[in-house]
């Protein structure tokens, strides 16, 4: 196991493995999202309170979940890079940030669109879930701005890693905000004691959508990490050999 992890942390090995995995992730992701979209929009019954507006959860929940997963990937990778100085970790952290920002934006936008017909407002500043999610978007922006402001990659890695780790405190705040404070946002539906509080006809498309989003996110992340690895290793022999082989970026 440790040998495999050690091998995977080697940039050329990772680059090759990632190139092979990406198409499979895309295939599994599209298949899962395709099924979930059809089932979520046309097969699942309308909610007895929210009507058809509830179908927004099929994009809102997966994007909100991935916004937090991306942050945890970024923070954990940055932490590993900071402590054990594994080069690949900083590349993963740097690659996860823009994706995390996009998925946070998607979660906020779809939540806002859902809020208008359900709450009667696009945004509620007093709501802890909305505000903490917005803070996470700013943390992503801060992380990327900090990286962009420092030319030296090693210094940029270290400084941004500290920011990523400090900002990680916001992730449990987002998750538990609906329990800790009074919130307009509904409580946990999927991960709760006694199992999910949803009818299977609504639940299965949601789980399929979360799975599909995760596969597609994985494919995007691997593609970005590959570019980041190539950039960081641009002066090495293996990259030169790769370029001269004329294989081209896949």
Partner 1 sequence: MEGLAMGGYGAYVWTCFILAAVVFVICEWRARLRLRQVYRDIEVRIKALGDTQ
239 in contact with partner 1 (CB under 8 A): yes
Note whether 73 and 89 are within 8 A (CB).
Answer: no
The CB-of-181 to partner 1 minimum distance in angstroms stands at 26
DSSP bridge pairs for 47: 51
31 in contact with partner 1 (CB under 8 A): no
* Beta carbon nearer to partner 1, 61 or 139: 61
Note whether 35 and 222 are within 8 A (CB).
Answer: no
Phi, psi of 51 (to 5 degrees): 65, -145
Phi, psi of 192 (to 5 degrees): -155, 165
State which of residues 46, 145, 188, 201 lies at the interface with partner 1 (CB under 8 A): 46
State which of residues 109, 135, 168, 184 lies at the interface with partner 1 (CB under 8 A): 109
CA proximity to 130, closest of 38, 78, 67: 67
93 in contact with partner 1 (CB under 8 A): no
Report CA torsion sign: 69, 71, 77, 79. Answer: negative
State which of residues 113, 168, 173, 203 lies at the interface with partner 1 (CB under 8 A): 113
Note whether 61 and 210 are within 8 A (CB).
Answer: yes
Rg (CA), the chain: 20
The CB-of-160 to partner 1 minimum distance in angstroms stands at 18
Site string for partner 1, 53-72 (x = CB under 8 A): x-xx-xxx--x---------
Place of tokens 């997963």: 69
DSSP for residue 236: S
Axis-axis angle for helices 87-119, 11-38 (nearest 10): 20
State which of residues 98, 135, 175, 238 lies at the interface with partner 1 (CB under 8 A): 98
Cα–Cα distance between 94 and 215 in angstroms, integer?
19
The CB-of-50 to partner 1 minimum distance in angstroms stands at 8
The CB-of-147 to partner 1 minimum distance in angstroms stands at 14
* Beta carbon nearer to partner 1, 35 or 176: 35
* Beta carbon nearer to partner 1, 41 or 149: 41
**Using CB under 8 A as the criterion, which residues of the chain lie in contact with partner 1 when the complex forms?**
37, 41-42, 46, 51-53, 55-56, 58-60, 63, 98-99, 102-103, 105-106, 109-110, 113-114, 116-117, 216, 220, 223-224, 226-227, 230-231, 234, 239-240, 243-244, 248-249
């Amino acid at each position: 196991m440790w040998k495999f992890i050690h091998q995977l942390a080697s940039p050329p090995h990772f680059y090759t493995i990632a190139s092979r995995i990406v198409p499979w992730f895309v295939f599994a992701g599209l298949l899962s999202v395709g099924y979930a979209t059809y089932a979520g929009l046309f097969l699942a019954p309308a909610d007895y309170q929210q009507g058809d507006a509830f179908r927004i959860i099929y994009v809102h929940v997966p994007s909100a979940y991935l916004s937090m997963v991306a942050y945890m990937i970024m923070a954990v990778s940055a932490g590993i890079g900071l402590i054990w100085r594994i080069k690949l970790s900083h590349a993963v952290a740097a690659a996860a940030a823009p994706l995390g920002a996009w998925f946070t934006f998607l979660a906020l936008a779809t939540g806002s669109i859902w809020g208008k017909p359900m709450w009667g407002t696009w945004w509620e500043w007093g709501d802890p879930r909305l505000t903490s999610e917005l803070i996470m978007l700013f943390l992503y922006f801060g992380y990327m701005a900090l990286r962009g402001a420092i030319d030296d990659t090693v210094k940029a890695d270290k400084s941004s890693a500290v920011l990523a780790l400090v900002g990680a405190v916001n992730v449990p705040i987002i998750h538990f905000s609906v329990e800790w404070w009074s919130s307009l946002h509904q409580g946990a539906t999927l991960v709760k004691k006694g199992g999910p509080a949803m009818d299977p006809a609504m639940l299965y498309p949601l789980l399929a959508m979360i799975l599909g989003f995760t596969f597609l996110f994985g494919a995007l992340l691997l593609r970005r990490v590959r570019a980041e690895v190539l950039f960081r290793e641009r002066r090495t022999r293996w990259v030169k050999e790769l370029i001269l082989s004329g294989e081209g970026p896949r």
